Amino acid sequence: MLRQTLRPGHAAHWCRQMSVVAKSLKYTQHGEPQDVLKLVEDQLADPKDKQVLVRILAAPINPADINTIQGKYPVKPKFPAVAGNEFVGEVICVGENVKGLQAGEHVIPLATGLGTWTTYGLYNQDQLMTVPKKVGLAEAATVTVNPCTAYRMLKDFVKLSPGDTVIQNGANSAVGQAVHQLCRAWGINSIGIVRDRPEICELKQLLECLGATAVLTEAEVRTSDIFKTGKVKRPKLAFNCVGGKSATEVSRHLDDCGVMVTYGGMSREPVTVATGPLIFKDIAFRGFWMTRWSKENYDAPERKQMFKELFELMEQGKFVAPTHEMVPLEKFKHAAAEALNFKGFTGKKFILNMRE
C-alpha cells in the first residue's frame, strides 16, 4: 500500500510524506521456513539522505536462503530478520542526497543480507544497482547469485580460450544452466553430467538448447569415449556441486593440470580425490563461494564488468533465467517447502511474485 505526496518545487524522483506498508516474511528464530516464517506488515519511514524506497517486483527462493533460515548457513542474520537475498525492484522515490537513481528505474541488490522477501524495502543507494528495463524480471531477479557464480568460476580459475572444454555435474541446476549459456556465448565446449531419470531425453534436449555441447548421465560418463576420440578436448576445468562419487568421476576426466572447483554439495558426501589423476595429472581442487567474492570485490571493476556482460547477453536474448515458477507471496510456505525438495525434470527455481 502506498500514498505519495511530492514536495512542491522538487523533481518527481524525490518525495516526502510517504505512507508505505510493507508485507514481509520475517522470522525471529532458526527453523524450517514453514514453521518460523510469518507474513507481517510494517509501515516504512520516508527515505532520507541517501536512502531509496524500492517496490519489490520479484524475489527468488534459493537453497542458501532456506539454509540461512534453518541456521545451517555461514551467514547469521540479526533477529527479527526479513528472509531472502535477491530481488528486482522498482524505485518509488529517493532521499534528498541520492544521485544517479530516480523513480521508475529497476534495481537489484549489490549487498547480501538485506532482506528481500517483502513488498517494499528501504535501502541505501550504495546497496543497489540499476538494471536495464529490457532485462526480464525473472532474469534480473536471479542474476546476482547463479549467473555470477557461473561467470566467476569460468573466469577466475583457468584461462579458457574458444574451443576449450568445461565439464560439470549437476548440469541441470540453475548454475549449470548458466554455465552452458556462458560457454555457448564464449565458444567453450560445455559437457554436462546429470542423474538418469525417465525424462532424460527431454532434459538433454533442453540443456543442449541452452548451449551444452553434450549431456551424459552419471553412468554414461564412465564409459564415454567423447574425450578419447578427440571429439572435444579434455576439460581444463570442472565444476562440482554434488560431491561424493559424482565428483570423483568427473575429476578423472580432467586434462593435465586441470582444476576442479567445488561450489556445492548436494549429496552431502565429501569430495574424494582419485589418487592417480592427483599424482600423474597434477590436478588441483578449489572451492568457491559467491557471497565471499562479492564482499571482497564490492566496488571492483571486475564486478561491474561482469554485470555489464551478463545484462548485455540478457538483452540480446542469449541468456535466459533458469527453469522457474512464479508464485504469489501468500503461497510462500508451499514454495519454500518445495525449493529444496523438488525432484522433477530439472532444478526448478521458485520466484516470489510481489506485484500486487
Evaluate if residue 331 carries a pLDDT over 60. Answer: yes
Q: How far apart are the first and last CA of the chain?
A: 9
Mean pLDDT of 77-97: 97
Domain limit, last residue, from 291, 309, 341 = 291
The full length of the chain comes to 356
Whole-number percent of the chain with pLDDT over 70: 92
CATH number at 135 reads 3.90.180.10
> What is the band of 1 on the pLDDT scale with cuts at 50, 70, 90?
low
pLDDT in tens, 274-313: 899 999 999 999 999 999 999 999 999 999 999 999 999 9
Evaluate if residue 12 carries a pLDDT over 50. Answer: no
> What is the band of 15 on the pLDDT scale with cuts at 50, 70, 90?
low
Evaluate if residue 325 carries a pLDDT over 80. Answer: yes
Verify that 119 and 167 share a domain, yes or no.
no
Count structural domains, the chain: 2
pLDDT in tens, 28-72: 999 999 999 999 999 999 999 999 999 999 999 998 999 999 999
> What is the band of 3 on the pLDDT scale with cuts at 50, 70, 90?
very low
Residues facing 189 on adjacent strands: 165
pLDDT in tens, 197-236: 999 999 999 999 999 999 999 999 999 999 999 889 999 9
Verify that 166 and 203 share a domain, yes or no.
yes
Verify that 125 and 154 share a domain, yes or no.
no
Verify that 96 and 197 share a domain, yes or no.
no
Predicted local distance difference test score (pLDDT) of residue 6: 37
Q: In the chain, what are the helix, strand and coil shares in percent, each to the nearest 5? A: 30, 30, 40
pLDDT in tens, 156-201: 999 999 999 999 999 999 999 999 999 999 999 999 999 999 999 9
- At 297 the three-state DSSP class reads coil
Evaluate if residue 16 carries a pLDDT over 70. Answer: no
Predicted local distance difference test score (pLDDT) of residue 8: 33
Q: Which of 105, 100, 155, 120 is nearest to 44 (CA)?
A: 120
Verify that 118 and 151 share a domain, yes or no.
no
Predicted local distance difference test score (pLDDT) of residue 348: 82
CATH number at 156 reads 3.40.50.720
Predicted local distance difference test score (pLDDT) of residue 334: 85
Beta strands, E only, the chain: 2-5, 16-27, 38-44, 51-61, 81-82, 88-94, 106-109, 120-124, 128-131, 165-168, 189-194, 214-217, 237-240, 243, 259-262, 269-271, 284-287, 324-328, 349-353
Q: Which stretch of 71-75, 197-201, 331-335 has the lowest confidence by average pLDDT?
A: 331-335
Domain membership of residue 278 (yes or no) is yes
By CB atoms closer than 10 A (0-12, 13-18, 19+), residue 190 is buried
Domain membership of residue 49 (yes or no) is yes
Verify that 216 and 280 share a domain, yes or no.
yes
Predicted local distance difference test score (pLDDT) of residue 234: 97
For the annotated catalytic residues, the residue numbers are 73
Residue 94: domain span? 2-142+321-353
Predicted local distance difference test score (pLDDT) of residue 355: 82
- Distance separating alpha carbons of residues 149 and 137, to the nearest angstrom: 19
Mean pLDDT of 129-141: 96
> What is the band of 19 on the pLDDT scale with cuts at 50, 70, 90?
confident
> The whole model's pTM is what?
0.92
Average pLDDT, the chain: 92
278-to-96, 113, 144, 307 alpha-carbon distances in Å: 59, 38, 33, 35
Verify that 275 and 254 share a domain, yes or no.
yes
